[in-house]
A = this chain, B = another copy of it.
Amino acid sequence: MEDDFLFMTLLYDFYGALLTDKQREIFEMYYLNDYSLGEISEILDISRQGVYDALKRAEDSLEFYEEKLGLVKKHQEMMKKIEKIKECIKLIKEREKDEEILKIIEDMARELEELNP
């Protein structure tokens, strides 16, 4: 359940912009601010069922987009590769003596840090 929760917030990071304003509001209250369905119902003055339905539609949309575009899966694969490249950089820095090469390695590490998949 905790895993599902985390996965849902990850989907939201990638596809949240495609939800409606109302879906985003309810999603954030539930998933990011930890309100219960009952609390959201009271605060927004919608029936509990209405909150549940909106949340369910938002979740279904997010899952639909991931099924079609697979951005979260792709992101996780890229992060693994970037981690491996960082390990390579670390190994080289430990061993390298040439100041000129060390400078290039630093440039490379900086580009890699800014590579934000």
Residue numbers in B under 8 Å from A96 (CB-CB): 98, 101
Segment of A2-10, A39-47, A107-115 in the binding face: A107-115
B85 touches A112 (CB 8 A): yes
Interface residues on A, range: 20 to 34
- Inter-chain pairs besides A17-B68, A88-B108, A88-B111, 19 sampled, C-beta below 8 Å: A15-B69, A18-B65, A18-B68, A78-B115, A81-B112, A81-B114, A81-B115, A82-B115, A85-B108, A85-B111, A85-B115, A88-B105, A88-B107, A95-B98, A95-B100, A95-B101, A96-B98, A96-B101, A117-B117
Write 25 A-B pairs (CB below 8 A) sorted by A numbering.
A15-B69, A17-B68, A18-B65, A18-B68, A18-B69, A71-B71, A78-B115, A78-B117, A81-B112, A81-B114, A84-B107, A84-B108, A84-B111, A85-B111, A85-B115, A88-B104, A88-B107, A89-B108, A91-B104, A92-B104, A92-B105, A95-B98, A95-B100, A95-B101, A96-B98
